[in-house]
Amino acid sequence: MNFIFHRSDLSPKAHRPSPAQGGFTLVELMIVVTIAGILITLAEPSFRNSVVNAREAVLKQDLFTMRDAIDQFRADRGKYPTTLLELKEVGYLKRIPVDPFTRSDGTWQEIPDQVESGVFDVHSGSDLVARDGTPYNYW
């Protein structure tokens, strides 16, 4: 088997793709990356707000659940629980929820009753402020 090469086949121009064959130039790639960066920059605040909204909704639900368990404990036993952990131990809560802002189940503020002993209310342990201007630990 014999191969015959012409001088024109070995020239550097013979191996370059023609503009019609496709591919992107550096300028085109830079434009695409710039546009993608602008779009991400515009979308980021909206994403951040949706994360805060979701955490606030979880906090409201967790506070409602724990307060409901405290009230049910009081109605059933005639006294307030000594701790939130007692609510879990006797079955009023399956678990102590994780505070969505402190990301811990041990930072809840247990508010004692003024007259009786025991946990009367519960607040978030976070020192952050909600979008409406109220601190989460006042909710």
Q: Is residue 89 part of a domain?
A: yes
Q: Is residue 30 part of a domain?
A: yes
Beta-carbon neighbour count of residue 86 at 10 Å?
15
Range of the domain at 62: 26-138
pLDDT at 114: 87
110 within 8 A of 117, measured Cβ to Cβ: no
* Phi/psi-derived region of residue 91, left when phi > 0, alpha when psi is between -120 and 50, beta in every other case: left
Count of structural domains within the chain: 1
pLDDT at 3: 63
Q: Is residue 131 part of a domain?
A: yes
Q: Is residue 130 part of a domain?
A: yes
pLDDT at 48: 83
The pTM of this model reads 0.69
At 81-98, the pLDDT tens digits run 999 999 999 999 999 999
Q: Is residue 17 part of a domain?
A: no
CB burial of 50-71 (b: ≥16 within 10 Å; e: otherwise) equals eeeeebbeebeebbeebeebbe
At 11-70, the pLDDT tens digits run 555 555 565 667 889 999 999 999 999 998 888 877 888 899 999 999 999 999 999 999
